[in-house]
Structure 1
Amino acid sequence: MRAKRSKKYRKLMHQYELTFGFREAYQVLVDSNFLRATDQFKMELIPALERTVQGKVKPLLTKCSLAAIMAAQPINPKTEKPYRPLFLPPPTELPLRHCSHNADSTPIDEIECLLSLLSPSSDVKKNKEHYILATAEPILRKTNPNEPKRKWKTEDDRKEEEAMRRSKTLRTSARSIPGVPIIYVKRSVMVLEPMSNPSEMIREGHERGKFRAGLDVEPPLGKRKRDGEEDDEESDEEPKKKRGPKVKGPNPLSVKKAKKRPDAPAPKKKAATVEAEGDDAAPKPKRKRRHNKGVHWEVEDAAESQPAEVDA
């Protein structure tokens, strides 16, 4: 698959996810014409579907579609049952979707069965189970170009015209249901149809609703008011200063840690001998210490110690 086409399909499935709630793995309802077309063009069922929807898929086959496939097969004379066609994958790859349209669970028309699963309610058309429809145009008989054209239609021609009409009816009815992606095979290419008009209208309404919801909500301006606060208090508040650019520094993990120095022992203080009388008591004045001032101070002290001479 080309990159441009795959990007387009991815965007389309994303729109289905946002608007209608599609999720992986996508449930794909396949019909009998789709299985015949994939077998004719030698496509692998699950990988081809995953490339188309750009995600994981879970293909399903209804009981009514299986009954329509087996009704067109020849009957085995030994078992008196129809042969299993080669284009029908095994149940491990294509599980059966049990659908009960009546009390005895007898199969009904394939197109009616698929449409009833896509939109169970006839009043409100809605794809509740998020199914994807996979269909294809019926395979026509190979005609000889040298053969002259007939003026009348044979029984095979009428069957082919009826099959083409039913295939177009299925796709037209599925487009009228909002939120139904349609995959079809045409000329050995698996194509994902763009959104139908009902789906596009719902998608536009959904986007418009989100836009209106965004306009209706008032953005919070400033702090939320508390009980008893006035508008004047908020107006008096000074605006916060903007912080400057953060100063860049070295990485703290790469910086070498500084060594801790041993703390010096603090000097011991003498206990106070005088108790303070109340809080108004004056602090005790510091006592001045007398230091040794040299030898001449010793001489003066000795002279003062001798008795003084008495004058005659």
Structure 2
Amino acid sequence: MRQKRSKSYKKQMLVYKNTFKFRLPYQIICDEHIIEETYTKRYNLLNNLNKILQPNIIHASNGSKQETDEASLNPKKTLKLFVTQCSMQHIYETKNEDLIEFVKYNFERRRCNHDYKDPKTSEDCIFSITNVTGKKDENEVIKNINNMVIGTNKHKYIICTQDINLRRKLRRVPGVPIVHFMNSNVLLLEPISDTSKQYSENFESQKLTHGLNDSKNAGFKRSVEQMNNSAAPTETPLPVIKKKSTNNPNPLSVKKKVAKVPVHEKNEETKSESTEPAKKKRKRVRSKKNSSATSEDKEDDKTLKADTSA
């Protein structure tokens, strides 16, 4: 029986993990009635919840060494026990100091944004936290289950309670695991509710019909009503890609460009140079002193030659 239960619990928690995106550490909210039972019977709630929810085995599919090693994962790291402000106020009213110290040591406080001077019942308080909606529930005073506003379990809470009315309400909210005592000593995880099953089936069917498998993308013709109902998306203009500006080189390291002269201007310049008369060279005129000195030198040379011949 235990093996069958553990397998069924594993399947249920895999659905909550894959469909409703439950992640470690699990957040478990307990009401005051189940806390009083665990305290009076000295029941180890954390270890038994760890056996039922099996966080080490379910989240070992990610392949990390820390998750595959059961000894490395402590239940205190994978599970967190919470108490709402309203239920804590009810525990204060019992005036049992040992119970209050037990709750302070083992449970964390969860804000429910309700007035502590006028606390709500655990049924209304816990249901308002798990059933998160954008609208106000008009039938909250009437407490009609069939006509109440249904939201989602936004914060992924696991509810541990003995209140039957609260469990009936939470079964209508998709993705809420419910844990309770059976025979006062055995913890049980309730099977997945019908709303959660329907939600998971729709979620899995969307994987087959959306994306590339969608008829819109497959090229099938649609009727005129479908074309009118499906509003055409507004075409957003593509972003303009700016070209990167090339940096200019250093002007000191670049040779200066020589202005090119056209060919016809070059020909005219050559013609003008050829037509101009050549300038006469200026003859150098020697001074008289130099001319007299040179004649005297010539006479001295003649006398020397005559002496040598004699």
Normalised by the length of structure 2, the TM-score is 0.53
Pairs aligned (count): 178
Compared CA separation, residues 98 and 217, structure 1 to 2 (3 A): closer
Conserved? CA contact 1:39–1:87, under 8 Å: no
**Other-structure match for 2:302:** none
**Other-structure match for 2:111:** 98
Secondary structure of 2:102's aligned partner: coil
Find out whether 1:194 has 2:191 as its counterpart: yes
C-alpha distance in 2 between matches for 1:106 and 1:21: 35
Compared CA separation, residues 91 and 70, structure 1 to 2 (3 A): closer
Identity percentage over the alignment?
A: 32
Give structure 1 stretches of 5+ with no counterpart: 74-81, 137-166, 219-312
Kindly state the Cα deviation for residue 44 of structure 1 after the two structures are TM-superposed.
0.7
**Other-structure match for 1:42:** 42
Alignment-mate amino acid for residue 107 of structure 2: L
* Structure exhibiting the larger radius of gyration computed from Cα positions: 2
**Other-structure match for 1:62:** 84
Aligned-residue Cα RMSD (Å) equals 2.4
Alignment-mate amino acid for residue 29 of structure 2: L
Q: Following TM superposition, where does structure 1 have runs of at least 4 consecutive aligned residues deviating by more than 4 angstroms?
A: none
**Other-structure match for 1:149:** none
Kindly state the Cα deviation for residue 211 of structure 1 after the two structures are TM-superposed.
2.4
Compared CA separation, residues 189 and 202, structure 1 to 2 (3 A): same
Give structure 2 stretches of 5+ with no counterpart: 56-77, 138-148, 216-310
Conserved? CA contact 1:60–1:96, under 8 Å: yes
Alignment partner of 1:107 out of 119, 125, 129: 119
Kindly state the Cα deviation for residue 36 of structure 1 after the two structures are TM-superposed.
2.4
Conserved? CA contact 2:91–2:100, under 8 Å: no
**Other-structure match for 1:169:** 165
Conserved? CA contact 1:132–1:182, under 8 Å: yes
Kindly state the Cα deviation for residue 47 of structure 1 after the two structures are TM-superposed.
0.9
* CA deviation string 1:98-151 (max 9, x = no partner): 22135x774222211100101132444111000010012xxxxxxxxxxxxxxx
Secondary structure of 2:104's aligned partner: coil
Alignment-mate amino acid for residue 96 of structure 2: Y
**Other-structure match for 2:14:** 14
**Other-structure match for 1:118:** 130
Kindly state the Cα deviation for residue 4 of structure 1 after the two structures are TM-superposed.
2.5
Conserved? CA contact 2:153–2:173, under 8 Å: yes
C-alpha distance in 1 between matches for 2:150 and 2:117: 25
In the TM superposition, 1:81-92 aligns within 5 A as 82-86=95-99, 89-92=102-105
In the TM superposition, 1:1-312 aligns within 5 A as 2-55=2-55, 56-71=78-93, 73=94, 82-86=95-99, 89-102=102-115, 106-121=118-133, 122=137, 123-136=149-162, 167-187=163-183, 188-213=185-210, 216=213
Of structures 1 and 2, the one scoring higher in RCO (CA 8 A, sep 6+) is 1
C-alpha distance in 1 between matches for 2:131 and 2:103: 27
Higher helix share: 2
Compared CA separation, residues 177 and 217, structure 1 to 2 (3 A): closer
C-alpha distance in 1 between matches for 2:200 and 2:117: 37
Compared CA separation, residues 217 and 83, structure 1 to 2 (3 A): closer
Alignment-mate amino acid for residue 21 of structure 1: K
Secondary structure of 2:99's aligned partner: coil
C-alpha distance in 2 between matches for 1:87 and 1:7: 36
